[in-house]
Chain A
Amino acid sequence: MALLEIQDLKTYYYTLRGPVKAVDGINFQVKKGEALGLAGESGCGKTTVALSVLRILPAGGKIVGGKILFRGEDLVKLKDKRMREIRWKGISIVFQGAMNALNPLFKVGDQIVEAIRLHEPKVKKKQAWERTEKLFETVGLEPSRAKHYPHEYSGGMRQRGLIAMALACNPGLLIADEPGTALDVIVQAQVLKLMSELKDKLNLGMILITHDLSIITETCEKTAIMYAGKIVEQGDIVTIFKEPLHPYTQGLISAFPSIKAAKRRMTSIHGSPPDLLKPPTGCRFHPRCPHAMDICKKQDPRPLKLARDHYVACHLVEMGKTG
């Protein structure tokens, strides 16, 4: 059984101008010890997926359909009290923006101790401190630094502190939203290496949310490409990066320069992502798609299973015109 299984999840934000269909019927699975990279441009709904899984959507946001099965339990239906037990102990998150996610008024160690004692009330303060110091060692921070305030940390140290905090209650699934985007490349490489090591060591399931495809190839086994609230293609990274089938995946990959590959003219995807208040009919990518056909404007393509874990939602593939 998968650690996390998402079935036909729909999350909408209700605004005065109508519902914004931020996540509109997505399916994916994450197993233990496996990292899934959720990729897409800003506004495609990837962060909303994370917030839905933890049920911490902002006001106006609502899960309107589907199932989120974590260890077989449907999180969508859970009472708040039970959900609170899942957070941090079952699933935890490393938020975007390492610079601002820690409270500047409290020592980093105290913030982690607070999390531990809130979720495991039986743990004494002293034990919680000892655990915090161990966590610091796990993420490569000097344990004595736990007594310092966030402003005394550099960017990379804060990111490590946040990872330590997320691991405080031994979760089974770790969600990381844009880890390392605010960091310099060398520090980013250090943090990504740490996350991969932790995943293997602790047998964690991991969801890595990022717009940077190159981060996914460095750390994940699987990837799901999101566009306008839907997953257009998913599969293992070698299949997706070597033989992408969806035109959006193809466009996104060729928009990415590689430092090692031969110098070539980069290509963009024309136009910009749609307004999710009024998403295009049929396939949501059709206004930007170089291969759009008549059917694309009318009918939403179903995700088609091509191989184990490789799904593509595109009429071209359905008709056998690519691949």
Chain B
Amino acid sequence: MIVMSENIAIEVADLKKWFPVRKGFLASLTSREQSFVHAVDGVSFRIKRGEVFGLAGESGSGKTTTGRLLLKLTEPTSGTMYFKGEDITALPEKELKPLRRTMQIIFQDPYESLNPRMTISDILAEPVIVQGTAHGEAEVREKVVQILKDVELVPPEEFLLRYPHELSGGQRQRVSIARAFILNPEFIIADEPVSMLDVSIRADILNLMLDLVEKFKVSFLYITHDLALARHMCDRIAIMYLGKIVEMGSVEKIVYEPLHPYTKALISAVPIPDPTAERIKVVITGEIPSPVNPPSGCRFHTRCPVVMDVCSKEEPPLIDVGKEHYVACHLHK
């Protein structure tokens, strides 16, 4: 069914992750039914080689879980994932190690994701030694020095023996980026990589990531809630709501011609740093419902300003409306 073309790095089909809800003792007596948090509930997308693909949505939309599933940091409930045409969904533990070399992640918080007891040189050398991509001290050191230059932590000698607490937030995030790129991976996930950083230095980190994506020719998944940043980073974006992709397409399509009422609301809610800009506000009420019992039919129908009868009954499929623009809404068929 799935046609693999040469230039697809990642393909995900109907991926689901349900987390069981743990019940108290008394609740378990009254009901035997197991309830689940439908964190990711049937998402399908492709990431092309060398592409920056964005996954955007509010908290609780399942974007981070999707990222973790792709890296096999958590097991999917169902669905399939392909990496360069190879099914990696059920790969046994032993075969994961070579895969890990090719897939890396940059975490959100550079204050938590670097071991405070390791020097920068040790932090960067560890993946190289574990994966055996360089042999002998000199070779490892050469790789570490080179990657520090790549992430513009220069002169590298000044950073090698320092500890994370001696670096600023921006410098730490550069170390995180260096650690992800040092193994020459083919696919990198960045989960809100600049949300903990000061605004004045965010741009440098984002530009650095874009430069490295081009230089190392990696495919990049950028997970964020900030659509203004996503627009500047990504080639294509998927908008998630309660574990589902509601709309997906090129950045220009999503930002300038959104079709789904949720995307429209999301785009218009983004504050614009220009006091004279024209503002069309589609303010929707309420907040994202619980993913334990997501609404029936279209999940957005409880907040949708243009809801119809069919919306609460039937779930709209994600359909192609042309030019790789997909939308899941009964209004667009």
Contacts and interface: CB of A to CB of B under 8 A. Distances in A.
Interface of A: 41-42, 154-157, 184-190, 192-193, 211-215, 217-218, 237-238, 241-242, 251-253, 255-261, 263-270, 272-273
B270 interface: yes
Contact of B281 (A189, A252, A270, A272): A189
B321 interface: no
B269 A188 contact: yes
Given A189-B283, A190-B285, A212-B271, A259 B168 contact: no
A241 B276 CA distance: 9
B231 interface: yes
B34 interface: no
B287 A187 contact: yes
A-B CB proximity, top 7 nearest = A266-B203, A214-B271, A268-B204, A189-B269, A184-B58, A214-B273, A268-B203
B274 interface: yes
A120 B108 CA distance: 46
B288 A42 contact: no
Interface residues of B, number: 42
B266 A211 contact: no
A292 to B, nearest CB: 16
Given A256-B199, A258-B228, A238 B275 contact: yes
B275 A241 contact: yes
B275 A242 contact: yes
A155 to B, nearest CB: 7
Given A186-B58, A238-B275, A272-B168, A259 B231 contact: yes
Interface in B196-213: 198-204, 206-207
A230 to B, nearest CB: 16
Nearest to A189: B269
* Residue picked from A185, A212, A251, A256, most chain B C-beta under 10 Å: A185
B43 interface: no
Contacts of B227: 185, 259
Interface string B268-301: 1111111111000101110110000000000000
Interface of B: 58-59, 168-170, 198-204, 206-207, 225-229, 231-232, 251, 255, 265-277, 281, 283-285, 287-288
Given A238-B276, A259-B227, A260-B277, A272 B201 contact: yes
Contact of B270 (A156, A157, A185): A185
Contacts of A270: 204
A261 B272 CA distance: 9
Contacts of B266: 185-186
Contacts of A261: 274
A305 to B, nearest CB: 21
Given A185-B58, A272-B201, A259 B228 contact: yes
B225 to A, nearest CB: 6
A269 B271 contact: no
A151 B132 CA distance: 49
A196 to B, nearest CB: 11
Nearest to B252: A263
Contact of B284 (A186, A260, A273): A186
B283 A214 contact: no
A260 B202 CA distance: 19
A267 B275 contact: no
Given A266-B203, A268-B202, A268-B204, A154 B271 contact: no
Contacts of B206: 266
B231 A41 contact: no
8 contacts: A41-B199, A184-B59, A185-B225, A193-B281, A259-B231, A260-B274, A263-B251, A272-B201
B287 A156 contact: yes
Given A211-B198, A273-B198, A266 B207 contact: yes
B174 to A, nearest CB: 12
A251 B200 contact: yes
A155 B287 contact: yes
Given A217-B273, A252-B200, A270-B204, 14 more contacts: A154-B287, A184-B58, A184-B59, A184-B225, A185-B227, A189-B269, A214-B271, A218-B272, A255-B203, A258-B228, A260-B255, A263-B251, A266-B206, A268-B207
Nearest to A187: B287
A6 B234 CA distance: 44
A272 B255 contact: no
Contacts of A155: 287
Contact of B203 (A190, A215, A260, A267): A267
Given A185-B58, A185-B266, A241-B274, A257 B228 contact: yes
